[in-house]
């Protein structure tokens, strides 16, 4: 029955490696400062408890290996990349214990938590919300999701990002301050997780400013790479 006052927006969905079915996105959660070296480059000790922010599902942009264009956002002079391992939740719940957390994971992908750093910094300074720095259009590029059953222990994976062929960010997932099961435990105390939630788990050091024409190549061992050019 057509009882909407206008057509509802399309479901945001991410391709799944090895399947024609797509992963429908519910929410996008991000973990702040979750690698010690990045926390330090942002001026913190790296020992704070985990904290989270949320981006709308419609900030997700699917980026595959085919050099998907990524539009340079408005209002910023300091548009930055943050390469992150993304956890895709397949089974929801609240108060999920770390011991059971991985059974809630559908799969994993490479993602970018794009940031208008100048606006984020100004909002931090003024004690205002980060939305304008983090939750803008096209702010959450993601590669295809690989089902968890097809990957090994993600903690042993390497994560890196090249810009124009130069390595800018590089780490091992086991260097996360808060590991994936602990992130899910903490998050699910604050929100009821649902199938379709994406969790951007935090970025290593080396975030830097991008220009139009820059080519980004993100990688996590065992997952499909993402390649994109800023336009």
- In the complex with Mn ion, the residue whose CB is nearer, 113 or 185, is 113
Beta carbon of residue 77, minimum distance to Mn ion (angstroms, whole number): 20
Task: Please give the residue ranges that form the binding site for Mn ion (CB under 5 A).
Answer: 82, 113, 203
Beta carbon of residue 8, minimum distance to Mn ion (angstroms, whole number): 29
DSSP 13-82: EEEBTT-SSEEE---EEEESS-BHHHHHHTTS-S-SPP-EEEE-GGGEEE--SS-EEEPPPSS-S-EE--
- In the complex with Mn ion, the residue whose CB is nearer, 85 or 105, is 85
Beta carbon of residue 118, minimum distance to Mn ion (angstroms, whole number): 16
- In the complex with Mn ion, the residue whose CB is nearer, 76 or 203, is 203
CA–CA dist 9, 12 (Å, integer): 9
Closest CA to 203 of 122, 123, 111, 88: 111
- In the complex with Mn ion, the residue whose CB is nearer, 30 or 89, is 30
CA triple 129-132-134, angle to 5 deg:
90
Beta carbon of residue 82, minimum distance to Mn ion (angstroms, whole number): 4
């Amino acid at each position: 029955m057509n009882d909407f006052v206008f057509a509802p927006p399309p479901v945001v969905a991410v391709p799944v490696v090895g399947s024609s079915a797509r992963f429908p996105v519910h929410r996008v959660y991000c973990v702040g400062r979750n690698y010690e070296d990045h926390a330090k480059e942002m001026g913190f000790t790296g020992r704070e408890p985990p904290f989270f922010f949320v981006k709308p599902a419609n900030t997700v942009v699917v980026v595959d290996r085919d050099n998907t264009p990524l539009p340079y956002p408005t209002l910023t002079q300091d548009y930055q990349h943050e390469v992150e391992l993304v956890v895709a939740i397949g089974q929801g719940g609240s108060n999920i214990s770390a011991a059971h957390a991985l059974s809630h994971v559908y799969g994993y992908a490479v993602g970018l938590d794009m940031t208008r750093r100048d606006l984020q910094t100004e909002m931090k300074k003024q004690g205002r919300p980060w939305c304008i720095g983090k939750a803008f259009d096209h702010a959450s590029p993601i590669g295809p999701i690989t089902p968890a059953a097809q990957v090994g222990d993600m903690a042993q994976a390497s994560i890196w990002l090249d810009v124009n062929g130069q390595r800018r960010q590089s780490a091992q997932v086991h260097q996360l301050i808060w590991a994936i099961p602990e992130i899910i435990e903490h998050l699910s105390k604050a929100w009821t997780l649902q199938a379709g939630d994406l969790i951007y788990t935090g970025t290593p050091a080396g975030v830097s400013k991008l220009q139009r024409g820059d080519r980004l190549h993100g990688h996590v061992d065992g997952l499909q790479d993402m390649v994109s050019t800023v336009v």
